[in-house]
Amino acid sequence: MSDLTAILAQAMADHQAGRLDEASRGYRRILRKQPTHPDALHFFGLLHFHRGQGVQAVALIMQSLAHAPGNPHAWNNLGNILSAQDKMTEAKEAYRRVTLLAPKMAEVWYNLAICMRDEGEFDQAAQHFRKAIEQQPDFMRAYEYLGMLLYRVGDYGQAAEVYKAWLVRDPQSPVARHMAAATSGTDIPERANDQYVAKIFDRFAASFDNNLKNLGYRAPEIVATALTGHVGQQATLDILDAGCGTGLCGPLLRPLCRSLTGVDLSPKMLEHARERGGYDELTVGELCEFMRSRVAQFDAVVSADTLVYFGALEEACAAARRSLRNGGLLVFTVEALPAEDPEPYKLQVHGRYTHRESYVREALQQARFEVLSIAREVLRMERLQEVIGHLVIARVAA
């Protein structure tokens, strides 16, 4: 092994371990001795990208490719950096170079598919996701993103086939299992798996608030206004925000609180709730188990669009009843299933449950709640259509 090869190997090991200063020194040593060393230029470019220095990263990788134009990994990394800079035309060109140099490289077909999807070229994106799966049949992210794309364009039958194929490859995946059920209408669970909910919301935690803002999301405002209307603005309550997510309800509920507690399955969502502030306690946990453990500790339980991940509501209603004091209020939203539907609830293709109003009443009454009101409300927009839900207010019956 030559000196330069040994230095490069150590620099790459430092780079992978996150020791960026040590890696930088190693790459610089090589480039002082051999300024055109293509691998050192390539990885030094990646290091600049990892430090947030995108312009320098592109320049260094372009230098590397000038000396080694046949390196598909450098072209792929260049495409990734350009994509992160929203230079999609240049990124696609870099990825296309890779498809010619290394057509069996599954990752580049996936990357090219993401570019196509983000630019609205959905048919080509689907083709490239399929190409990635063809080259690497265990490429789980490609199955997931292809399924999501097919749902987005309304091709639910093909989406179901993709999720089923993914489930065959990865039988333990909670996302594959849940979405295969949602899109096919078979093997429907009574509620979404906890791992599915945690994984989905952990993934989207960073963009969650902005996405909901773009959808005109109203559920936190609706439940907070409903609770205020029943207890008055001068109330001082112990409140549980069941499925609090990023804490959107927190600022709306805080004026009514003596104490405000939040519980959610997603640790990353709770990080955002903690940053937003207003909560006296935030706990990662399953909300039914949490409510059962807090006997008669709350004056009100609110839940904005969390019970859409429950089909059967009996367990959640009973757990809420256990956590509430005498006369306590339960305020929540669920998506509405038409009254004429024969089923009490349905898992829809988007992965959430809808509920018939009469079933919601039955579940509450079974848990010994007095139903004060169930009103129809627009919860948000989705696919340019209003999402109609039930705003439910119930009180612990004497």
Same domain membership, residue 210 and residue 64 = no
Which of 347-384 are b and which e, b meaning 16 or more Cβ less than 10 Å from the residue's Cβ? beebbbbbbbbebbbbbbeebebebeebeebebbeeee
Residue 155 falls within a domain, yes or no? Answer: no
As a whole number of angstroms, the distance between CA 46 and CA 54 comes to 9
Domain assignment present for residue 126? The answer is no
CA atoms of 295 and 365, how far apart (whole Å): 19
Supply the pTM of this predicted model: 0.87
Nearest to 117 by CA among 130, 109, 126: 126
pLDDT in tens, 7-16: 999 999 999 9
- Residue 1: band (very low, low, confident or very high) from pLDDT cuts 50, 70, 90: very low
pLDDT for residue 375? 96
Where do we find the tokens 């963009």?
207
Compute CA distances 320 → 63, 239, 329, whole Å.
63, 12, 9
Confidence at residue 207, expressed as pLDDT on a 0 to 100 scale? 87
Q: pLDDT by residue (tens digit) across 303-347?
A: 999 999 999 999 999 999 999 999 999 999 999 999 899 999 999
Q: b or e along 142-162 (b: 16 or more beta carbons within 10 Å of the residue's beta carbon)? A: bbbbbbbbbbeeebbebbbbb
Q: Which residue, of 68, 98, 127, is where some domain finishes?
A: 68
Whether the predicted pLDDT of 208 surpasses 80: yes
> Is 91 within the bounds of a domain?
no
Bridge partners, residue 282, by sequence: 262
**pLDDT of 55-64, one tens digit each?**
999 999 999 9
Average pLDDT across the chain, whole number: 95
How confident is the model over 376-384, as a mean pLDDT? 87
Whether the CB-CB separation of 311 and 345 falls below 8 Å is answered with: yes
Least confident of 36-50, 130-144, 197-211, 242-256: 197-211
> What is the span of the domain harbouring residue 322?
204-396
Domain membership of residue 59 (yes or no) is yes
Q: CATH no. for residue 302?
A: 3.40.50.150
What pLDDT is stored for residue 309 in this prediction?
98
Mean pLDDT of 255-262: 97
**Which of 36, 51, 68 delimits the end of a domain?**
68
Q: Per-residue pLDDT tens for 348-365?
A: 999 999 999 999 999 999
- Give the CATH number, domain containing residue 35: 1.25.40.10
User: Given 68, 101, 119, which residue is the final one in a domain?
Assistant: 68
**Which pLDDT score, from 0 to 100, does residue 172 have?**
95
299 domain residue, yes or no: yes
Domain-embedded: residue 94: no
Mean pLDDT (whole number) for 143-160 = 96
Question: Is pLDDT above 80 for 177?
Answer: yes
Residue 315 is predicted with a pLDDT of 98
Query: What total number of domains does the chain contain?
Result: 2
Does 179 score more than 90 pLDDT?
yes
Summarize the confidence of residues 19-36 as an average pLDDT: 95
Asked whether residue 160 is assigned to any structural domain, the reply reads no
* Residue 385 covered by a domain: yes
Of 63 and 210, the structure prediction assigns the larger pLDDT to 63
pLDDT at 216: 86
Task: Please report, as a single letter, which amino acid is at residue 27.
Answer: Y
